[in-house]
Amino acid sequence: MEKFQDQFSQVLHANLDLLTTKCLEASTENAHARGEQLNAEGMRQIVEGLVNIIDEALEGTSSELLQTYLHTVVPGLVRRGRDAASLSYTGVSTSIYFAHVLERELPPHLRDDAIAWFAHFFARFTAEAVEAANKAQGR
């Protein structure tokens, strides 16, 4: 049986520009956001990092990239005024954009497994990001 992992990764890497634009919009419209907005280059790096974390999770052999992200990007965002509510807002909207791209571009026979995997991955990721934000805020 064909597995979804390879095409999953290809679809996300091929749509980095679109996903960056959508995440930037989500960040701009984030009613919980405080402090300065991320610029396009910064958001591109954050999205590229997220896609690489997804690759790492698809391989399932390490969480080094995830840990780096949680210990660098999240505290940086917190210092610029983001909090757990703000990261949750952006996380939910980001996950829907990602899922939409996957649903649109993956072959039909891979979609169910891919979306099920992604839903659980992103829920875990958002929970860990919220935990890291609270820790960075000293809560």
Partner 1 sequence: MGSPCFNEIVRQCGLSEVFAEDTIMRAFERIGLRPEQVTPAHIPQVLPQLERTLRIFLPKDQVAGRLAAIAALATSPVLR
Return the beta strands (E) in 20-120 as ranges. Answer: none
Nearer residue to partner 1 within complex by CB, 52 or 95 = 52
Q: Which amino acid is at 9?
A: S
Nearer residue to partner 1 within complex by CB, 49 or 115 = 49
> CB of residue 40 vs partner 1: minimum separation in angstroms?
10
- Distances from the Cα of 103 to the Cα of 39, 41, 120, angstroms: 28, 26, 16
Coil, helix or strand for 134? helix
Lookup result for tokens 């690759």: 55
> CB of residue 113 vs partner 1: minimum separation in angstroms?
26
Contacts of residue 119, Cβ cutoff 8 Å, sequence gap at least 6: 95, 99
Residues that bind partner 1 (CB under 8 A): 38-39, 41-42, 45-46, 48-49, 52-53, 64-65, 68-69, 71-73, 75-77, 80
> CB of residue 58 vs partner 1: minimum separation in angstroms?
15
CA angle 88, 128, 5 (to 5 degrees): 95
Nearer residue to partner 1 within complex by CB, 71 or 109 = 71
> CB of residue 87 vs partner 1: minimum separation in angstroms?
13
Nearer residue to partner 1 within complex by CB, 53 or 58 = 53
Tokens for 115? 């979306």
> CB of residue 17 vs partner 1: minimum separation in angstroms?
11
Nearer residue to partner 1 within complex by CB, 48 or 105 = 48
Q: Which amino acid is at 115?
A: I
